[in-house]
């Protein structure tokens, strides 16, 4: 089966596909970082949601007081959900875009702006920066995804 393996390797050797693989992985790692930040705030703020998570603080009322919401925890969670809502479309549409025969420089422009916009969005959410920083970074990532979707539909449309 080495012939088939070679063909798969050719896919990952294509520069547009390699660029997609790189930026998709970076933005997914950034999204995964939100889980660690949530855990960090849950532990430092002592704000948990599952009773079994507070068992180490003792039993009964002494542990129950740590079952609470915390403004910082909720902020990170909103940023995480916003990532899911926006990175899932990028993953799907971006993969199809990378297979649509776009030229390398245009593809790199799309991928770089999207990932830059999402990193900015996270910083704007967590610091937090005054609006319209978060709103604008969201719009930029959204517009890049729409632009890729347009190219995919123009190339592949089969209804």
Binding residues for its own copies, rule: CB under 8 A, are: 1, 4-5, 7-19, 21-22, 24-25, 28-29, 31-32, 34-35, 49-50, 52-53, 55-56, 75, 78, 80-81, 84-89, 91-93, 95-96, 99-101, 125, 128-131, 134, 138, 142, 145-146, 149, 152-153, 155-159
* Nearer of residues 30 and 45 to its own copies, judged by Cβ: 30
* Nearer of residues 65 and 132 to its own copies, judged by Cβ: 132
Q: In 3D, which of 105, 107, 112, 99 has the Cα closest to residue 141?
A: 112
Nearest-approach distance from CB 25 to its own copies, in angstroms: 5
Nearest-approach distance from CB 27 to its own copies, in angstroms: 9
Nearest-approach distance from CB 114 to its own copies, in angstroms: 13
Nearest-approach distance from CB 124 to its own copies, in angstroms: 9
φ, ψ for residue 67 (rounded to 5)?
-85, 85
10 Å CB burial of residue 50 (0-12, 13-18, 19+) is exposed
Nearest-approach distance from CB 4 to its own copies, in angstroms: 5
* Nearer of residues 52 and 61 to its own copies, judged by Cβ: 52
DSSP 90-156: HHHHHHHHHTTT--HHHHHHHHHHHHHHHHHHHHHHHTTPPTTHHHHHHHHHHHHHHHHHHHHHHHH
């Amino acid at each position: 089966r080495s012939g088939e393996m070679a063909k798969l390797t050719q896919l990952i050797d294509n520069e547009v596909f390699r660029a997609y693989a790189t930026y998709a992985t970076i933005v997914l790692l950034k999204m995964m970082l939100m889980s660690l930040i949530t855990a960090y705030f849950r532990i430092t703020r002592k704000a948990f949601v599952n009773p079994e998570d507070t068992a180490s603080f003792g039993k009964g009322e002494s542990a129950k007081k740590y079952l609470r919401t915390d403004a910082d925890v909720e902020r990170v969670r909103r940023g995480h959900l916003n990532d899911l809502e926006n990175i899932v479309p990028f993953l799907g549409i971006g993969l199809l875009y990378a297979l649509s025969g776009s030229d390398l420089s245009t593809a790199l422009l799309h991928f770089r702006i999207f990932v830059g916009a999402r990193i900015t969005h996270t910083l704007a959410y967590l610091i937090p920066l005054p609006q319209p920083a978060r709103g604008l970074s969201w719009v930029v990532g959204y517009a890049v995804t729409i632009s890729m979707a347009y190219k995919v539909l123009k190339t592949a449309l089969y209804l």
